[in-house]
Amino acid sequence: MSENSPTFRLFKKMPTFLNGFASSMDFFGDDEKIYKVDKTEKEADWNSIHADWLAVGNDINKAITEEYEAERK
């Protein structure tokens, strides 16, 4: 998945194995360095629902494209 995927909208930067390991040793860490933080709960809900519908639309588009390509063969 790409970094711009709606699935990963909460991450400021895509996590890696080393980031994960280092964060397990960071007992006093600041989550705002890792995650995007919405200003209000309403904004967070809207952004999450928007990201979910983008993912659904992408899945439907992929399925239609694959079916179309299969029929052309």
Is a pLDDT exceeding 90 seen at residue 11?
no
Residue 1 lies in a domain: no
pTM of the model: 0.54
- Work out the average pLDDT over 13-33: 63
Residue pointed to by tokens 């390991």: 21
User: For the chain, what is the domain count?
Assistant: 1
On whether residue 30 sits in a domain, the answer given is yes
Range of the domain at 15: 6-72
Mean of all residue pLDDT scores within the chain: 77
pLDDT at 5: 61
Report the candidate in 52, 54, 55, 8 with the shortest Cα–Cα distance to residue 34. 8
pLDDT of residue 58: 93
pLDDT of residue 73: 77
| CB proximity list for 51: less than 8 A, separation 6 or greater | 6, 7, 9
> Which range, 5-9, 38-42, 64-68, has the best average confidence (pLDDT)?
64-68
